[in-house]
Structure 1
């Protein structure tokens, strides 16, 4: 017998299985349920954007893009960032285009985390953070956010920091809770890292989806955080094109240089004609400045459709997710209720416990309202039947 067959492969991620997003989307398809579980828009992008992609396809922009990204897109990103936040990033040395924000997050985490390093993770957390930490030999250290507000307990954060802490990962607006960081939060973070060798990865993929007059607080707007932060963003969330998998990372020159060493061996470069199309599309700010009103109307439509239901909720502050509280309805575990709602009522959601390390069950479900109006109204009508 071949010796290789006698030694089973030891998994690097033994606790990782099929994600809840895959499970719930598959169940929604099998039961013909309305899928408000996985976070993707249920409508197409602007025809102007697809026309631009077609333009560059036909013009022959079909070979490798530069490893760091098409120059025009990096320049457009730098201009947008300066106009919105007053932050200057050099497009040649401090802006990198990636194959989705998840790749940017992985490359940023890999840049700074070494075996034994501790990484502060605010949970509930997006599911790619901890595997990326583990694959680099890091140790996740959790700060638990709890409903109804999911506000950050900064004393708890301070107590988690040790001499081994090398990275803090933040996400604002936050998935899955919708919490939006305030200037106070950023000041507290800056005070904690000011005199320590701690880096920051800031997941800001929902930067343009904020409600009720809130303004996005990009972390590098604080001078202490500017020189130690990797900002990861996404065109997929902003322009309703999650399937294109185009993201980016903004970071100071020295951090970007190390980031790119890893990025070039992950994907090297990202699809070329789409980069050119996005560069042109970014030159019209209304394409992203209109997003808060667009999604706030959808949030309000969904909430109004479930107002007569037995669910309780606080309107989400940002992102295109809304969590609801079902404590007064049933004591079922959230995972079981999510499956039952999909099978019996025909609406798929995500149990919020999956975003916690210990599967903390606060009796919350997450719904994605990035869907067309008719779908949201039908889903709301069904949820009111519970």
Structure 2
């Protein structure tokens, strides 16, 4: 996610005791970075199954100590793309409370169904209070390079640079040259990338629904499917992933690692577990051959575990 070290960004925008608002579920690294800077994470739950933002819940999360908001859109792990109305709610609160926003936009070019990414910084009053982060990792499939960037108002850019040089110094020069070439890619490259991922999204949604998973929200961005376990599975998310690895050799991520709050919901799982223990994150940023092989293994595991076929689709 934040290839530009997030600890640097939180250190430049918060002081010990400051509160940072972020959304739940969320990428697990954010909380650690906030705490490293002496800040206090304050989670605002997104409402399943479509992971919508409740404006009142968000606004009520602000206190006199709130210093910043972290926003990741398109969103890991759900594939949600925050709507313009939701972004306006976030921007309005930041402007009224004089808070910074740190946006993680690494999936900005990976959106589906004709949905366009909107940067929070493009909204009125937000350019001067937003730190934008992105990287080469997702758009150009070079996660190991760890090359990213931050775009910020001059004061924060200077502070970020001063801390960054003491922590990581700089990225290797050849990678920086490659980054310049990549960033000059024609629009056709990004459209081709989007179409390829959209096709893979549709493939994995059909696959996972076909083995009984409940697909109530079709990802609109990024390359993850956050799917709910079949109703007749008595296993938790962690238990299922362990079986998936041992018996099928397929790796996914238990959803509980992305949740940080204890919530009540009108619809708890019929097997008696919190919904936060019922989600699995599947990544589809793989070759078609790898996805096909995984499909076969998942089907075999499903048969062995006695799962009904035919999931509930979005």
TM bracket (short chain): 0.7 to 0.9
Q: Distance in 1 between matches of 2:60 and 2:194?
A: 36
SS at match of 1:201: strand
- Secondary structure of the 1:300 match is helix
Match of 2:246 among 333, 343, 351: 343
| 1:1-386 equivalent positions in 2, closer than 5 A | 101-285=2-186, 286-313=188-215, 314-358=217-261, 361-385=276-300, 386=302
For the 8 Å contact 1:104–1:248, the answer to whether it is kept is: no
The CA distance in 2 between the partners of 1:233 and 1:218, in whole Å, is 11
| Distance in 1 separating the partners of 2:101 and 2:110 | 22
Shift in CA distance, 196/258, structure 1 to aligned 2, threshold 3 Å: same
Distance apart, 1:303 and its partner CA: 2.3
Greater relative contact order (CA < 8 Å, ≥ 6 in sequence):
1
Comparing 156-165 and 288-297, the one that deviates more: 288-297
Supply the distance in 2 between the matched residues of 1:377 and 1:210 (Cα, whole angstroms).
Answer: 23
Displacement of 1:347: 1.9
Q: Are the equivalent residues in 2 in contact too, given 1:302–1:377 (CA < 8 A)?
A: no
Unaligned runs of 5+ in 2: 263-273, 303-314
Aligned-residue offset at 1:103: 3.2
Structure 1 residue 345, shift from structure 2 partner: 2.9
**Displacement after TM superposition at 1:101 (Å):** 3.1
Structure 1: how far apart are the matches of 2:253 and 2:181? 36
How far did 1:294 drift? 1.6
SS at match of 1:180: coil
- CA-to-partner distance for each residue in 1:91-142, whole Å, 9 max, x for gaps? xxxxxxxxx8333422111101111101112111112111111111111111
Q: Is the 8 A contact 2:3 2:149 kept in 1?
A: no
**In structure 2, C-alpha distance between the alignment counterparts of 1:153 and 1:297, rounded to whole Å:** 31
**When the two structures are superposed, what TM-score results if normalisation uses the length of structure 1?**
0.71
Conservation of the 8 A alpha-carbon contact between 1:335 and 1:351: yes
SS state at 1:318 partner: coil
- Indicate if the aligned counterparts of 1:145 and 1:151 stay in contact, CA closer than 8 A: yes
Once the two structures are superposed, residues 24-63 of structure 1 have per-residue CA deviations (whole angstroms, 9 ceiling, x without a partner) of xxxxxxxxxxxxxxxxxxxxxxxxxxxxxxxxxxxxxxxx
Give 1:305 deviation, angstroms.
2.9
CA distance in structure 2 between the aligned counterparts of 1:167 and 1:126, rounded to whole angstroms: 17
Q: For the Cα contact (< 8 Å) 1:231–1:249, is it kept in 2?
A: yes
SS in 2 for 1:173: coil
What's 1:31 paired with? none
Q: Secondary structure at the match of 1:239?
A: coil
Other-structure match for 1:34: none
SS of alignment partner, residue 278 of structure 1: helix
Distance in 2, Cα, partners of 1:329 & 1:296? 29
* Offset, 1:327: 4.1
> How many angstroms apart in 1 are the aligned matches of 2:175 and 2:259?
35
Shift of 1:344: 2.0
CA distance in 1: counterparts of 2:50 and 2:137, whole angstroms: 27
Query: For residues 201 and 86 of structure 2, what CA distance do their matches in structure 1 show?
Result: 25
Deviates more, 1:170-179 or 1:296-305: 296-305
Offset, 1:280: 2.0
Partners of 2:119 and 2:73 in 1: how far apart?
8
Change (3 A) 1:147 1:381: farther
